[in-house]
Amino acid sequence: MNRSSRIVGLLIAVMVSVLTLRAEPPAAKPSRYKMGTPSPTTGGCGKFYMGREIAFVMGHQGAGWLERPEREKEEQPKRLLKALEIKPGMVVADIGAGSGYHSFRLAEKVGPKGKVLAVDIQKEMLAIIRKRMKKEEVENIEPVLGTETDPKLPAGGVDLILMVDVYHEFTFPYEMTESLIKSLKPGGRLVFVEFRREDRKVPILLAHKMTEKQVLAEMAPHPVKHVKTIKSLPWQHVIIFEKKDEKQEK
């Protein structure tokens, strides 16, 4: 079995098939999401938003895959963080933090005067982060238990929100994006890191990849502006948005 097949196989093994059983939140418009037949071969759950099939959530059982040694070469996290120009003292939210793969790297960048809000909807993932925090005596990470529509972040208190291979799994992407933007400071950045669906050579299930065009379309209804897209990573593109200044808009 080659590396690509192993990655795809592991993704299939850790999918948590629960999204189709969840009800719409009271505030959600019935027409916003559509239900269809799940596409197990692509990792899709059968729920659609703006023509895109939402992917199954990767469960905490896949934490080991998040920490795989090959990830350094496949995703080049050092290059990613350098491109984001994170400064000491910043408040950064790592959404869908999982095992904390990026959270601990971010903690080094923001320094002791900064803070990393490691958000996940799975308690088991946050337990992994807390255990490592204790072992490595890291004090500038705050594990946060979010929900499917609310990351539980402080309003207007975050400089940068990082979402690495997670947005495509949001059960309610519109509502979650609303909540995320509310937590950003004016001019704060919302960063999508997604496997490039435009590239057939990227060995990831289709529902777990997104095109730049799709991300731009899904952000169009929200008060953010596209700043730039970084395409220098091996498999992913980094799509960066900035929160609009409501006062200037008026």
List C-alpha distances in Å: 250 to 6, 156, 247.
52, 19, 5
Question: What is the model's pLDDT at position 8?
Answer: 45
Q: Which helix (H) or strand (E) holds 142?
A: strand 141-145
What confidence tens digit (pLDDT) does each residue in 123-158 have? 999 999 999 999 999 999 999 999 999 999 999 999
One of 3.20.20.140, 3.40.50.150, 3.40.50.720, 3.40.80.10 is the CATH number of 70-249, namely 3.40.50.150
What confidence tens digit (pLDDT) does each residue in 165-202 have? 999 999 999 999 999 999 999 999 999 999 999 999 99
Whether 50 and 214 have beta carbons less than 8 Å apart is answered as yes
pLDDT averaged over the chain?
A: 88
What confidence tens digit (pLDDT) does each residue in 12-31 have? 444 443 333 344 455 545 57
C-alpha to C-alpha distance for 135 and 113, rounded to whole angstroms = 20
Instruction: Provide the 10 A C-beta neighbour count for residue 60.
Output: 19
Q: Where are the domains of the chain?
A: 70-249
Residue 192 token pair: 């999508």
Whether 1 and 9 have beta carbons less than 8 Å apart is answered as yes
Given a cut of 80, whether residue 247 has pLDDT beyond it is no
Question: What is the model's pLDDT at position 30?
Answer: 57
Overall average pLDDT of the 216-220 stretch: 98
Residue-wise burial string across 94-104, b where 16 or more C-beta atoms lie within 10 A, e elsewhere: bbbbbbbbbbb
The DSSP line for 44-84 is EEEEEETTEEEEPEEPGGGHHHHT-TTHHHHH-HHHHHHHH
Given a cut of 90, whether residue 89 has pLDDT beyond it is yes
Question: What is the model's pLDDT at position 21?
Answer: 37
C-alpha to C-alpha distance for 93 and 112, rounded to whole angstroms = 15
Question: What is the model's pLDDT at position 59?
Answer: 78
